[in-house]
Amino acid sequence: MRKLRALLLGLAGLVLCQALAACATTPPTAEALANNDPYEETNRDTLKLNGKIDKYFVIPTVGLYFLLVPEPGRRGVHNFLGNLELPTIFVNDMLQGEVSRAGKSMWRLVINSTLGLGGFLDPASKMGIQGHGEDFGQTLAVWGVGEGPYLVLPFLGPSNPRDATGLAVDVAMDPTNQIHFKQHIWWDGGRIYFTLLDLRGQTYQTIQGIQRSSVDYYSSLRSLYRQMRNQEIRNGRAPGQDLPDF
């Protein structure tokens, strides 16, 4: 049990496989097929499960985190976690042939790891080298791999087979997982926990807003996830020609 993240991903996959196997007995509705969401029934159940985990575990600990750690401290944690992702982002930039963006990722890593005191500060942004996200799910998309049906992963949320595969590859290629040391589980556990706190803390108001204004939270999340991922894969604005007519 050296890699807690790999375990979590595996556990999510196992729960999902069991759920999808159970779902196979009930055929998907025409609506679900039209939405490229043949496992909608199972996905909705998983979203409910994730909502309970969020309500009873994540939100209370995020509240405690905000109470105990002042804003500059939380920003430092956010910067540090972002810095840890830079090697993976750099590799994916290169795999997508985005040499200029790869250069930015590399410079951010060098500058923030040194002048930024191990990544807790972000002097690179002040120098005009802004950060960006990249992952292996996006790399697969750039290589022409289709997203596959919509999935809601236990613990991890909205995804699809392409992005779930990408997540597993990103975990495998993360250099910190290649460094073996005693008590690695505490490092992994701490990183996952603080990533969760950071991410949920940042998205708290947005998610609350979506829940408050949604007619159907599940399909709202599905639409937002797909549009957001398309934007990330394009690395920017859509040309506008793909939009439907009004």
Instruction: Give me the residues that bind another protein (CB under 8 A), please.
Output: 29, 31, 35, 122, 125-126, 130, 209, 212-216, 218-220, 222-224, 227-228, 230-231, 234, 236-241, 243-246
72 versus 236: smaller Cβ distance to another protein: 236
Report the nearest approach of another protein to the CB of residue 207 (Å): 14
Report the nearest approach of another protein to the CB of residue 113 (Å): 19
Report the nearest approach of another protein to the CB of residue 31 (Å): 4
> How many other C-beta atoms lie within 10 A of the C-beta of residue 73?
12
- Look up tokens 């969020």; give the residue: 54
C-alpha span between 64 and 76 (Å, rounded): 17
171 versus 224: smaller Cβ distance to another protein: 224
- Altogether, the residues listed in the chain come to a count of 246
35 versus 176: smaller Cβ distance to another protein: 35
183 versus 213: smaller Cβ distance to another protein: 213
Q: How far is CA 15 from the centre of its chain?
A: 19
35 versus 113: smaller Cβ distance to another protein: 35
C-alpha distance from residue 79 to each of 27, 83, 90, 112, 135 (Å): 46, 6, 16, 9, 18
Report the nearest approach of another protein to the CB of residue 175 (Å): 26
C-alpha span between 13 and 29 (Å, rounded): 24
Report the nearest approach of another protein to the CB of residue 209 (Å): 7
Residue 192 near residue 4, CB atoms below 8 Å:
yes
